[in-house]
Amino acid sequence: MDRKSLMILGIALFTQATTSLIGGAIFYNPFVIEGNVAATMKNMAGNIPYLYSGILLQIITAMVIVVLGASLYHFTKHINKTAAIIAFGFYIFEAILHTFGQVFVFDLVEISQTFSQSGDASLVIIGQTVLTARKFAGGIAMIPFGLGAIMFYYMLPKAHIIPKWLAIWGLITVPFILVGIPLSVFGISVPFALFVPYVPWEFFTGAFIIIKSCQR
């Protein structure tokens, strides 16, 4: 097994999890006030450097997702080439939707600046539309991610990349992301606790693969 390719896989998995978490939890979510678009826009207008940093991190995330998909394809194509190609396609689609989400964030920041300067109440309606579009793109992106992840996670232990128990962890927890987050986009309440078990998986698995590559 190619040590360099294995290292790239581990780094890509760990990096996309890190940039996505930081970009959302630190540089976006703190400025969004649920149910109050005007306050959200005022927050954004006063924290533009943070939001631009978040957009940059999320764009990096999208690029790394493509690298991750290509790397996963490289290691699983000999197991089932058709499934690996389809899963890779899902990852590319996820990256595209993820990028569109950041375009909406950029638009919202620009609208927020104008709103802060002019106080034009009509901009709140536009802001609400853009905010909703961003949430939709981000939520729907979890569908291709979940489908692709399930296919790859099933093949990874067969390719001897990760142990079976680690693959089972991913296969059990990722469906909650696949179904739960898109449902929340449509206003269906889904307990956040259902998403928590998957969160550490990408960090842990990325670190596991990096360590494995160093030991070869």
Q: How many domains does the chain have?
A: 1
pLDDT at 109: 97
Could you report the per-residue pLDDT of 2-28, keeping only the tens digit for each?
889 999 999 999 999 999 999 999 999
Is the pTM higher than 0.75? The answer reads: yes
Q: Is the pLDDT of residue 1 over 80?
A: no
Contact 87, 152 (CB under 8 A): yes
Contact 123, 45 (CB under 8 A): no
Contact 19, 61 (CB under 8 A): yes
The vertex-65 CA angle with 64 and 70, nearest 5°, equals: 95
Distance from the Cα of residue 142 to its chain's centroid: 7
Confidence of residue 215 (pLDDT cuts 50, 70, 90): confident
pLDDT at 2: 85
185-211: average pLDDT = 95
Amino acid at 9: L
**Helix or strand holding residue 138 (H, E):** helix 122-140
Rounded to a whole number of angstroms, the distance between the first and last alpha carbons of the chain is 9
216 vs 60, higher pLDDT? 60
Q: Is the pLDDT of residue 216 over 70?
A: no
Q: Which domain holds residue 128?
A: 3-215
Contact 163, 157 (CB under 8 A): yes
Amino acid at 203: F
